[in-house]
Amino acid sequence: MRKVLFALLFVLAGMVANAQLLWRVSGGNCFKSSYLFGTIHLESENFIDSVAGLNDAIASVDAIYGEIVKDEMASTKALGKVMRESMAPADSTIDKLLSPADYALVDSVVRDYMKGIIGLDHLKKYKPSTIIMQIEAMQLLKNFPNYKSMLPGLDLGVQARGEKLGKYVGGFETVEEQLSIAYGSSLVEQAKNLVDMCRKDKDFGQNNEALIAAYHSQDLKALEQHLTDPETGMDAESMEKMCYSRNRKWIEKIVSTMPVQSMLIVVGAGHLVGEQGLINLLRTRGYVVEPVD
């Protein structure tokens, strides 16, 4: 689950734009050319200008589709749902789920990132998955100092630019569906993953710097290797949950929309790669999918 939740932040400014993040979709029953663009959700909106052809793609399509519509996630109603889902039941707080030794381990990691100001006692009201995401945010702040300035994010930035040009903005998932990904496992399993994450805390920087480097060099092959690495990446079950099962749902929406509306599909780069990635799923449906020159 720790890998799954990091993929939500990732599933992760280019030096040379070799167009492996931006792909043109044509042929089949396309109304006109559509596009796929792979993102890291925490990257800055400024990265848009580093990808050759991306601004042209935004301008040329009829609609921008993301994993979720930015306005829905930022709404008061959605924030309320997130807050309710993040809280642990009174009889299942973290101190009741962890052994004293595991509690001490997680507490030490939290205190390390918070300079001793806050410990796990301050987070007891939250579910383990919420604590995982909070620790990951602190890890990012430590390992990637520019993270604090990366707002608005890349996905939302593309949607915002499309809106300014009068494009329709749509999403493949609801807030409830995204919450089910983060909180779908039992509290016991969440707690186990929290402890596992804290035991491997020291490996965070090295492992994820490699993912970020692969993305910034726009190397989808390297990105796929890091995402699926048996030691540091996601296992088959996590890839199925985080990427492949969602891709199979999204592809039906995509192929039913492209005959009447050209699309720029903006999703985590992990959704593009592999046999069940969106690139290959479209090709198996008879579409031509090629990198933008």
Q: What is the pLDDT of residues 62-92, one digit of tens each?
A: 999 999 887 776 678 878 888 999 999 999 9
Backbone angles phi and psi of 212, in degrees to 5:
-65, -40
142 token code pair: 């430590």
pTM value is 0.82
Q: What is the pLDDT of residues 249-275, one digit of tens each?
A: 999 999 999 999 999 999 999 999 999
Cα 210 to Cα 199: distance, rounded to the nearest angstrom: 20
pLDDT category, 151, cuts 50, 70, 90? low
267 token code pair: 């999703």
Q: What is the pLDDT of residues 278-290, one digit of tens each?
A: 999 999 999 999 9
Cα 40 to Cα 83: distance, rounded to the nearest angstrom: 24
> Looking at residues 48-72, what average pLDDT do you find?
92
**Burial classification of residue 130, based on how many CB atoms lie within 10 Å of its CB (0-12 exposed, 13-18 middle, 19 or more buried):** buried
